[in-house]
Amino acid sequence: GQSLEQPSEVTAVEGAIVQINCTYQTSGFYGLSWYQQHDGGAPTFLSYNALDGLEETGRFSSFLSRSDSYGYLLLQELQMKDSASYFCAVLDYKLSFGAGTTVTVRA
Amino acid sequence: GAVVSQHPSWVICKSGTSVKIECRSLDFQATTMFWYRQFPKQSLMLMATSNEGSKATYEQGVEKDKFLINHASLTLSTLTVTSAHPEDSSFYICSARKGASLESLHFGNGTRLTVT
């Protein structure tokens, strides 16, 4: 089976940087992805790492270390609209999600 | 705009009744769609994989006779919650893949089911 661990919540101020860590245990592994979900809405794709290293997409970056079964999502220059839940998800034969990290951005 | 449409967005039903939720791919054909359930403040849990023209594949612990899935066309999958009970109250989300990459996996806006 799969298990993923990520912090339950993080609070930061506008303009700050937040790092959300994700550790995983899985029998098969193709890659680690990240999704954003606003309250009551659909999850939206943020990034996907199949190989070790850092992927940068605008203010958001994602990192993967396969040997450590670890990844993180980095949110930079935080804005109020970034307040949402962020899920890491492992892809093997299916997409398995972590429990999510609620990010609250304060003025 | 949305590429996966889910209907209804919310529904309230009485205990013992059945509820049907539709998931449509809007501008592409999806041979496979996925149904998830999400309880408040919790993760999305995959319930089943819906395959066009064949039986759905259910995850362990999901009752296939209670959660009926039909994928009758390349653009429509339906989930029917039969004999609903209050513990079935949850947020149900479907997804479909538009292309080969993970980035092409799109989610519907979800259906909030409340069973009274």
**CA–CA dist A20, A9 (Å, integer):** 9
CB A71 within 8 A of CB A49: yes
Contact B43 A42 (CB under 8 A): no
Q: Please tell me the predicted confidence (pLDDT) of residue B25.
A: 94
Q: What is the pLDDT of residue B1?
A: 64
Q: Nearest by CB to B108, from A33, A42, A87: name it.
A: A42
A98 interaction partners in chain B (CB closer than 8 Å): 43
> Which of A45, A94, A100 faces B103 most closely, judged by CB atoms?
A45
User: Which residues in chain A are closer than 8 Å to B107, comparing Cβ atoms?
Assistant: 42-44
pLDDT of residue A56: 93
| B28 lies within 8 A of chain A by CB | no
- CB contacts < 8 A (A, B): 45
Half-sphere exposure of A63 (CA within 13 A, CB side): 14
Q: What's the rounded Cα separation, in Å, for the pair A56 and A63?
A: 9
User: Which residue is closest to A95 within chain B, CA to CA?
Assistant: B46
Question: Residue A91 above 90 pLDDT?
Answer: no
More confident residue, B72 or B37: B37
Q: pLDDT class for B113, splitting at 50, 70, 90?
A: very high
Please give the Cα distance from B80 to B59 (Å, whole number).
16
- Summarize pLDDT for A34-74 with one digit per residue, the tens: 999 998 888 999 999 999 999 998 999 999 999 999 999 99
How many CB atoms within 10 Å of residue A53? Answer: 10
**Nearest by CB to B109, which of A42, A94, A95?**
A42
Phi, psi of B86 (to 5 degrees): -50, -35
Asked if B46's CB is within 8 angstroms of A95's CB, the reply is: yes
